[in-house]
């Protein structure tokens, strides 16, 4: 069935198709209470408990699919354990000029340079609050992935992250600090030692301050890193995360290393570097597994045991299991969902 739907969707411009699907998914909100009663989703995978976050299975929807959190109830209904909303910035912004999303159909990938198009922290907060009223006691975990506005200089980036953190503190189960999107100029520099230390210090200080003030537990904080980091850079990120007691590391975001995926990318324009942006899906899998594996080795030889969350190129049960074997406690999908549709959830979670 999805094969037919995909055929039609793939006739449309990729971003138009994306917005159309999201719009339809958001309309489920009205029918949610009814659907929830008749649609009992069987838990097909073991749950994962991380302090206050109870993940009903190991699979979530990665950041970028539902940036503003307009279809939260739909993602819960079809069986994901969690949704990562965002990337959110303090002010709304339009993102990069279009076209900015491409399908690499032969390669099973996507290439995007969206540039954090989102409705801003206030609007997203209100979207989450509305959904939470209907979700009630459901253990659907909502993470918020945060970043900086395009026009905020790097030296002031920390302020943007803090604004988002503070505004969304009451409605997020966990936060992801996005320092790895290739589509906001300079953002990846935040993975450098000095910037990252300053950023994580400020976030955790705010986390402590708000949790004391509101008499709640501090939020879980994850960082999302790039697949294009060297081994040395991964070591440094790990060490800084340890210093600031970061709960988890997401490996990875999209890659700009088009040369690496050269043999997989048959699209001549991509090979010539005409397309700028981040690659996701199948061409990303190996790169992102390498980073996951490095993190897992570091974790084995350290007292510090961050939760590892895998993202990059998951299409099949084998891909999913590989991520778990490499130390991931949670797995997130994006491109696999675009190509396989909602049935990918059942496929990845069913017990053999």
Ligand X SMILES: Cc1cc2nc3c(=O)[nH]c(=O)nc-3n(C[C@H](O)[C@H](O)[C@H](O)COP(=O)(O)O)c2cc1C
The residues facing 143 across adjacent strands are 84, 174
Q: Which of residues 171-210 bind ligand X (CB under 6 A)?
A: 178, 181
Burial label, 340 (beta-carbon count in 10 A; 0-12, 13-18, 19+) = buried
Q: What does the block give as tokens for 298?
A: 């570091």
Stretch of residues binding ligand X (CB under 6 A), selected from 28-36, 44-52, 316-324, 331-339: 331-339
Active site residue 181: yes
Residue 32 or residue 55: which is nearer to ligand X going by CB?
55
Residue 313 is a binding residue for ligand X (CB under 6 A): yes
Residue 171 or residue 284: which is nearer to ligand X going by CB?
284
- Give the Å distances, CA to CA, from 104 to 39, 62, 335: 34, 19, 10
Residue 69 or residue 86: which is nearer to ligand X going by CB?
86
Residue 261 is a binding residue for ligand X (CB under 6 A): no
Q: 9 near 21, Cβ under 8 Å?
A: yes
Q: 22 near 337, Cβ under 8 Å?
A: no
The contact pattern for ligand X, residues 63-92, with x = CB under 6 A and - = no contact, is xx--x------------------xx-----
Q: Reduce the DSSP state of residue 214 to 3 states and report it.
A: helix
Distance CA 263, CA 245 (A): 39
Q: 330 near 49, Cβ under 8 Å?
A: no
Place of tokens 């130390």: 327
- Chain centroid to CA 300: how far? 25
Residue 298: CB partners within 8 Å, gap ≥ 6? 234, 235, 238
Q: What does the block give as tokens for 274?
A: 């005409």
Residue 168 is a binding residue for ligand X (CB under 6 A): no
Residue 270 is a binding residue for ligand X (CB under 6 A): no
The minimum distance between CB 217 and ligand X, in angstroms, equals 24
The minimum distance between CB 117 and ligand X, in angstroms, equals 8
Distance CA 32, CA 256 (A): 39
Q: Which of residues 10-49 bind ligand X (CB under 6 A)?
A: none
The minimum distance between CB 29 and ligand X, in angstroms, equals 22
Q: Which of 26, 81, 180, 181 is catalytic?
A: 181
Given 79, 90, 327, 336, the residue binding ligand X (CB under 6 A): 336
Q: What does the block give as tokens for 211?
A: 């949790």
- According to DSSP, the β-strands at 101-104 and 109-112 are antiparallel
Number of residues engaging ligand X in binding (CB under 6 A)? 28
Residue 224 is a binding residue for ligand X (CB under 6 A): yes
The minimum distance between CB 210 and ligand X, in angstroms, equals 23
Given 83, 101, 144, 330, the residue binding ligand X (CB under 6 A): 101
Residue 281 is a binding residue for ligand X (CB under 6 A): yes
Residue 114 is a binding residue for ligand X (CB under 6 A): yes
Catalytic residue annotation? 181
- Contact residues toward ligand X (CB under 6 A) are 62-64, 67, 86-87, 101, 110, 112, 114, 116, 145, 178, 181, 224, 253-254, 280-281, 284, 311-314, 333-336
């Amino acid at each position: 069935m999805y094969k037919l739907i995909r055929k039609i969707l793939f006739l449309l411009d990729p971003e138009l198709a994306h917005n159309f699907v999201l719009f339809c998914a958001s309309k489920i909100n009205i029918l949610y209470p009814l659907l929830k009663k008749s649609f009992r989703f069987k838990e097909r995978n073991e749950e994962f408990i991380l302090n206050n976050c109870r993940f009903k299975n190991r699979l979530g929807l990665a950041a970028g699919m539902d940036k503003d959190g307009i279809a939260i109830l739909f993602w819960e209904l079809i069986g994901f354990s969690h949704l990562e909303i965002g990337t959110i910035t303090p002010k709304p912004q339009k993102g990069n000029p279009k076209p900015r999303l491409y399908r690499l159909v032969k390669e099973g990938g996507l290439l995007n340079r969206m540039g954090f198009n989102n409705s801003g922290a206030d609007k997203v907060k209100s979207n989450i609050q509305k959904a939470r009223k209907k979700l009630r006691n459901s253990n659907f975990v909502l993470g918020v992935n945060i970043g900086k506005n395009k026009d905020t200089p790097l030296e002031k980036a920390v302020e943007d992250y803090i604004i988002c953190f503070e505004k969304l503190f009451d409605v997020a189960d966990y936060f992801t600090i996005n320092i790895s999107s290739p589509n906001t100029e300079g953002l990846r520099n935040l993975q450098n030692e000095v910037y990252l230390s300053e950023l994580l210090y400020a976030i955790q200080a705010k986390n402590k301050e708000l949790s004391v003030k509101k008499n709640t537990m501090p939020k879980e904080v994850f960082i999302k890193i790039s697949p294009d980091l060297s081994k040395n850079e991964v070591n440094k990120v790990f060490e800084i995360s340890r210093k600031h007691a970061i709960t988890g590391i997401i490996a990875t975001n999209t890659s700009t290393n088009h040369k690496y995926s050269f043999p997989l990318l048959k699209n001549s324009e991509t090979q010539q570097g005409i397309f700028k942006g981040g690659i996701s899906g199948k061409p990303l899998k190996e790169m992102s597994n390498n980073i996951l594996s490095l993190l897992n080795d570091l974790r084995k030889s350290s007292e510090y045991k961050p939760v590892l969350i895998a993202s990059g190129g998951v299409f099949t049960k084998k891909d999913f299991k590989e991520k778990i074997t490499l130390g991931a406690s949670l797995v997130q999908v994006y491109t696999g969902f675009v190509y396989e549709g909602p049935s990918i959830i059942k496929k990845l979670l069913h017990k053999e």
